[in-house]
Amino acid sequence: MGLLRDRMMHDLELAGYVPKTRLIYLNSIRDYAKRFGRSPADLGADEVRVWVDDLTKESEIGPQRVRQHMAALKFLYTKTLWKPEAVSFLSWPSDPQRLPTVLAADEVERILAAFERPKYRVFFTTVYGTGLRVLEACQLETRDIDAARGVIHVRCGKGQKERFVMLSPRLLVILRKYWSIERPSPPWVFESNTGGHLQPNTARLALRLACGKAGVARKVTPHVLRHSFATHLLEAGTELRVIQVLLGHNSIKTTTRYARVSTALIAKTKSPLDRLKTD
């Protein structure tokens, strides 16, 4: 298994997978091998079917985790072992269609005001003000802040795709004031306490504490602020195509879910009943 693990790691690196994904895939294959007590090189389609059946019956594993296991199997057998027939039958499970959680503007204000440390307040102000993913915000560098053009350059976007997001005048003032006080070590805008850039889990913990202090009972994650950014833009009249570019979505279909969750737009929509002349 050690030699196979090294080969798969090498193949994942060549394919450009980020370290986190490489670790997830390798751990999945480790669990797969442990299930049968043999090297995956000696296993085939029958064992893959049994393993996937085990995963789908496991109540604590959601569709996303099952997809990760399947993706790891597919990579192993198609790229490393050259046995694509062992996984050719796999079909990805889909997530149930849930509407994203969106905060009201006053809830965002209360949460931002509840942070005790300026670093975290400015960090999540940036997340809400730009729609950045938490890792994208953690890895912001000073060179990414383009005050002259009024944009922020996102270099480490999902799938290694770069894009630009808006840099509002208000956020620019906030960032400059934060910089003059905190003086984080270059090149990072948001530095961790131990050096390097701020870590996502540290930011998530700070957000959870702030939500408790602000009296916001529902679960709020950094991605909820991203959802709120998109929905509030839509309610303000921003076109979906623009929001798609700002969020870095590949497909407009991903962005259209915000049209379904925008209660302000729903409330403004005229019912055909209003056109009737009789009561």
The catalytically annotated residue of 7, 67, 163, 249 is 249
What is the structure's pLDDT at 1? Answer: 65
Domain of residue 67, residue span: 2-86
Catalytic site includes residue 121: no
Of the given ranges (129-143, 183-197, 241-255, 257-271), which has the lowest mean pLDDT? 257-271
Does residue 156 lie in a domain region? yes
At 140, the pLDDT band (50, 70, 90 cuts) reads very high
CA distance 144 to 167: 10
Residue 279, pLDDT > 90, answer no
Residue 130, pLDDT > 80, answer yes
pTM exceeds 0.75, yes or no: no
User: In this structure, are 16 and 82 located in the same domain?
Assistant: yes
Residue 27, pLDDT > 60, answer yes
User: In this structure, are 203 and 145 located in the same domain?
Assistant: yes
Residue 121, pLDDT > 90, answer yes
User: In this structure, are 128 and 76 located in the same domain?
Assistant: no
What is the structure's pLDDT at 95? Answer: 60
- Domain termination residue (choose one: 86, 113, 129): 86
Does residue 275 lie in a domain region? no
Residue 271, pLDDT > 70, answer no
- Residue 63 maps to which CATH number? 1.10.150.130
User: In this structure, are 76 and 115 located in the same domain?
Assistant: no
The catalytically annotated residue of 7, 153, 223, 257 is 223
Question: Considering the chain, what percentage of its residues have pLDDT values greater than 70?
Answer: 90
Mapping DSSP to helix (H, G, I), strand (E, B) and coil, where does residue 147 land? coil
User: In this structure, are 124 and 221 located in the same domain?
Assistant: yes
Output 195-199 pairs: Cβ under 8 A, ≥24 positions apart.
197/138, 197/139, 197/140, 198/119, 198/123, 198/138, 199/138
What is the structure's pLDDT at 86? Answer: 93
Catalytic site includes residue 249: yes
Stretch 205-227: mean pLDDT: 95
DSSP state of 99: P
Residue 278, pLDDT > 60, answer no
Catalytic site includes residue 223: yes
CA distance 125 to 141: 16
The catalytically annotated residue of 7, 30, 155, 158 is 158
CA distance 88 to 77: 10
Mapping DSSP to helix (H, G, I), strand (E, B) and coil, where does residue 150 land? coil
User: In this structure, are 152 and 189 located in the same domain?
Assistant: yes
Catalytic site includes residue 133: yes
pLDDT tens track for 63-98: 788 889 999 999 999 999 999 999 999 887 666 667
Does residue 100 lie in a domain region? no
pLDDT tens track for 89-111: 988 766 666 778 899 999 999 99
The catalytically annotated residue of 22, 226, 227, 232 is 226
Catalytic site includes residue 10: no
User: In this structure, are 241 and 125 located in the same domain?
Assistant: yes
Output 252-256 pairs: Cβ under 8 A, ≥24 positions apart.
255/230
Query: Residue 89's closest CA among 46, 60, 131?
Result: 46
Residue 42 makes CB contacts below 8 A (sequence gap 6+) with none
User: In this structure, are 31 and 169 located in the same domain?
Assistant: no
Q: Number of folded domains in the chain? A: 2
* Mean pLDDT taken over the chain: 89
Q: Which two tokens stand for residue 154?
A: 């996102």
The catalytically annotated residue of 133, 197, 227, 232 is 133
Catalytic site includes residue 270: no
User: In this structure, are 190 and 250 located in the same domain?
Assistant: yes
